[in-house]
A and B are shown apart, each in its own frame.
Chain A
Amino acid sequence: MSDKSTSRLRLLLGQLNPLGLPLRQKIGVLGLAFLIALPLLVSLPVVGQFVVLILPASSWELGLYNVAAALFFAMFAMSWDAVSGYTGEISFGHGLFFAVGGYTSAMLNMGHGFSPWISVLGGVLLAAIAGVMIGVPALRIEGPYLSLVTLVAPLILLQVFIFMSDIFGGEQGLGNPENLVGLGFVSNYFLALGLFVAIFTLLWALTRSNTGSILTAIREDEDAVSAAGLSKAKFKIFAFVLSGAIGGLAGAAYVHTPVGSPTPSELMSVIVNVEVIIAAVLGGMGTIVGAAVGGLFVAMLPDYLNLVEFTVPVIGKSISSMSFFLFAIVTLFLLNIFPGGVLRWGIALGRRATGRDGGDEGMAADGGQSPEDAGTNPVAQTMERYQEYYDNMFGGDDE
């Protein structure tokens, strides 16, 4: 027993040594270090000017705001990935959780005078309950049918918001709830970054433990999971509740910052619901890391495009006025060349370059996924899963 725990401790310490990390994790640590140092870097005399150039805004203050907003969006994407990327039950309406978290927290704060910190907890709790409300039906309704439920649920909520606009503020939302850490650019940036790192760490650890293997096994073959003595129902509900709670936490914290407010368009519009999926799939579905990176990319790309002054000659439109259109084009392009997500492609490339073949350990670190085999990537698995449901729907036989 104690033997086992000391060897575990040694393993853990080994894993924490940054020099011993595989290349991709070194890149991750460097990226994180850069994000932490960012507010300091922009205040340095000469370096600062260069750093502002690479920020998605024209000034460092706005740059920090935009990166903070992108960090929140990345949290949304990670919460989607935790359930849909891992279990293969695709949610088309994850904004439901962001909105339940954000609106609950805003209302507790504005209507009942709770401190924003307490209000956020209330938002998390209610979003977790929303996770139960989607997760329990998910045991009976699966695949495309469940996706329909997730698609319709936020639309119903939106109608309620509009119908009872005296309470929920309709399309306009709820105005400005109190901020968690005031208006400071740096403090709000660190709030977002801290929450991002906390959520990332939690989900990363969970998905790299046995829990992650079990969730991906549900995506691959539910009967095999039952045959292994594991309750697929328990794990599915868990994934929905966890995802709901985390999406709710991100949504709640977001409305208590200057970068976000409790409005339908920011938390639960069709665009938000779809962009979250795009971010996770583009980065690499079922990896958490992919959702984090994809989320930052998807959120910041339009900001960068907005900065471009160039006007396209023939049609006479500026790049910045077409930013969403261009975003969609870039996304389609990337999805076509990297069907398994950019992350998997990058890992495979890195392995070829560094001459490591990944082996057993490498696969474990990616949550049971070998990046090379495109036939079993999560997107393909999910497609296959849905294909089965369609076949049954149109009278195919049971086998």
Chain B
Amino acid sequence: MSTDTRADEAASATTDNEVGPDDGILAVESLRKEFGGLVAVDDLSFAVQEEEILGFIGPNGAGKSTTFNCVTGTYPPTDGTVWYKGEEVTGTPPHEMVKRGMARTFQSFAPLEDRSVLKNVALSMMDDKLVTMDGLLGEFHDEARAICERVGLGDRLYQTPAELPHAGMLRLELGRALGTDPDLLLVDEPFAGLSGPEVESVSDLLLELRDEGMTLVVVDHNMRGLLQLIDRAIVINFGSLLAEGSPDEITDNPEVQEAYLGGGLE
């Protein structure tokens, strides 16, 4: 086993498509996900380094969300291996991944419609315990309130998700993810539908989180808004890796340009 791993590492140094458990805080090797006959993720390998902000880019339907649904345990992968913090976690259920320190936001927003912003965030902070005195005496959710303020919802604590504007929903997604106190945060298409200033303020928040030691993966279907934010980008198309490198390298890459038919990337 250990010789195997070493062989893998040696291979990764040369061929660049073999990833092992210690290649990053998150390491994904030959991940494959099929839905019936459709191959949504096709033998994809990549690694995420601690405290980086990685852009995870690809055209619509490229398999970005599916990749992260497999990584976070929402879907069982058809094949491949996922390591998180050096441990194999392939197929671990979502709530276990959250407990291990991996949080995500949902592209299609999944707040609890029946309760306030504050209570949505408070739910993320609850312990996974069956019987507890917590909450019984109606204590104020100080920490939940602090997170709401942090993501810019301080003045909307008692509104329900339905009352929030689009940007507010995204902020709530971030708040709910931060409530679980993650080390790695997967943000699925945060900038879709945001105005310029909103993109900027969300970017500032993400940068701030990174400065505090968090690792971030930001999914998007183009580079808009990402250039200032990310350290490195991975581009996928049809479920497999197309390019990898600094933002400049990516925008100059002819294959990437072709995938986007000469436009749309910026």
Bitwise, A353-382 to B at CB < 8 A (1) or not (0) is 000000111011100111001001000010
Q: Does B93 contact A (CB under 8 A)?
A: yes
B27-73 interface with A by 8 A CB criterion: none
- Judge whether B95 and A8 touch: CB under 8 Å: no
- Judge whether B130 and A235 touch: CB under 8 Å: yes
**A383 shortest CB reach to chain B, Å:** 13
Q: Does A348 contact B (CB under 8 A)?
A: no
**Chain A positions within 8 Å of B258 at CB level:** none
Among B94, B103, B104, B179, find the residue whose CB has the most chain A CB atoms closer than 10 A.
B94
Given contact pairs A11-B137, A205-B136, A209-B134, A230 touches B126 in the complex (Cβ within 8 A): yes
Q: What CA separation (Å) do A12 and B137 show in the bound complex?
A: 7
- Judge whether A228 and B134 touch: CB under 8 Å: no
Q: Does A227 contact B (CB under 8 A)?
A: yes
Q: Does A323 contact B (CB under 8 A)?
A: no
Bitwise, B96-134 to A at CB < 8 A (1) or not (0) is 101100011010101111111011001110111111111
Q: What CA separation (Å) do A212 and B132 show in the bound complex?
A: 10
Q: What CA separation (Å) do A8 and B139 show in the bound complex?
A: 8
- Judge whether A226 and B113 touch: CB under 8 Å: no
Q: Does B138 contact A (CB under 8 A)?
A: yes
Given contact pairs A209-B136, A213-B123, A227-B98, A234 touches B118 in the complex (Cβ within 8 A): no
**Chain A positions within 8 Å of B126 at CB level:** 210, 213-214, 228, 230
- Judge whether B130 and A213 touch: CB under 8 Å: no
- Judge whether A227 and B134 touch: CB under 8 Å: no
Q: Does B160 contact A (CB under 8 A)?
A: yes
- Judge whether A229 and B119 touch: CB under 8 Å: no
**A205 shortest CB reach to chain B, Å:** 6
- Judge whether B123 and A217 touch: CB under 8 Å: yes
- Judge whether A217 and B136 touch: CB under 8 Å: no
**Chain B positions within 8 Å of A223 at CB level:** 74, 94, 106, 110
- Judge whether A368 and B114 touch: CB under 8 Å: yes
**Chain B positions within 8 Å of A224 at CB level:** 110-112, 123, 176
B179 closest partner in A (C-beta): A228
Partner of A213, one of B94, B99, B129, B135: B135
Q: What CA separation (Å) do A16 and B106 show in the bound complex?
A: 42
**Chain A positions within 8 Å of B128 at CB level:** 229-231, 234
**A74 shortest CB reach to chain B, Å:** 23
**B13 shortest CB reach to chain A, Å:** 36
- Judge whether B113 and A214 touch: CB under 8 Å: no
Partner of B135, one of A210, A225, A227, A232: A210
- Judge whether A360 and B114 touch: CB under 8 Å: no
**B92 shortest CB reach to chain A, Å:** 11
**What's the count of A-B pairs with C-beta under 8 Å?**
128
- Judge whether B106 and A227 touch: CB under 8 Å: yes
B80-101 interface with A by 8 A CB criterion: 93-96, 98-99
**Chain B positions within 8 Å of A381 at CB level:** 114
- Judge whether A213 and B122 touch: CB under 8 Å: yes
**Chain B positions within 8 Å of A230 at CB level:** 95, 123, 126, 128
Q: Does A171 contact B (CB under 8 A)?
A: no
Q: What CA separation (Å) do A234 and B129 show in the bound complex?
A: 9
**Chain A positions within 8 Å of B99 at CB level:** 229
- Judge whether B110 and A221 touch: CB under 8 Å: yes
Q: What CA separation (Å) do A220 and B116 show in the bound complex?
A: 13
- Judge whether B95 and A232 touch: CB under 8 Å: yes
**B94 shortest CB reach to chain A, Å:** 4
- Judge whether A229 and B95 touch: CB under 8 Å: yes
Q: What CA separation (Å) do A164 and B212 show in the bound complex?
A: 68
**A344 shortest CB reach to chain B, Å:** 13
Given contact pairs A213-B126, A220-B114, A373-B160, A11 touches B138 in the complex (Cβ within 8 A): yes
Q: What CA separation (Å) do A373 and B161 show in the bound complex?
A: 13
Q: Does A206 contact B (CB under 8 A)?
A: yes
Q: What CA separation (Å) do A8 and B134 show in the bound complex?
A: 10
**Chain B positions within 8 Å of A220 at CB level:** 112-115
- Judge whether B136 and A226 touch: CB under 8 Å: no
**Chain A positions within 8 Å of B130 at CB level:** 211, 234-235, 238
B119 closest partner in A (C-beta): A368
Q: Does A263 contact B (CB under 8 A)?
A: no
Q: Does B240 contact A (CB under 8 A)?
A: no
- Judge whether A229 and B98 touch: CB under 8 Å: yes
Partner of B124, one of A228, A231, A360, A361: A228
- Judge whether B132 and A228 touch: CB under 8 Å: no
A221-254 interface with B by 8 A CB criterion: 221, 223-232, 234-235, 238
Given contact pairs A226-B93, A226-B94, A365 touches B138 in the complex (Cβ within 8 A): yes
Q: What CA separation (Å) do A370 and B106 show in the bound complex?
A: 25
Q: Does A351 contact B (CB under 8 A)?
A: no
B138-185 interface with A by 8 A CB criterion: 138-140, 157-158, 160, 176-177, 179-180
Q: What CA separation (Å) do A359 and B138 show in the bound complex?
A: 12
Q: Does A84 contact B (CB under 8 A)?
A: no
B35 closest partner in A (C-beta): A398
Closest 10 A/B residue pairs (Cβ): A229-B98, A210-B135, A226-B94, A376-B114, A11-B137, A209-B136, A228-B124, A364-B138, A210-B126, A226-B95
What are 22 A-B contacts with C-beta separation under 8 Å?
A: A11-B138, A209-B132, A210-B126, A212-B135, A213-B122, A216-B114, A217-B112, A217-B123, A221-B113, A224-B111, A227-B98, A227-B180, A228-B95, A228-B123, A228-B124, A228-B126, A229-B124, A235-B130, A363-B116, A368-B114, A376-B160, A381-B114
Extra pairs beyond A220-B112, A370-B115 (8, CB < 8 Å): A11-B137, A210-B135, A228-B123, A228-B179, A229-B95, A360-B118, A361-B138, A368-B119
List residues of chain B with CB under 8 Å of any chain A CB: 74, 93-96, 98-99, 103-104, 106, 108, 110-116, 118-119, 122-124, 126-140, 157-158, 160, 176-177, 179-180
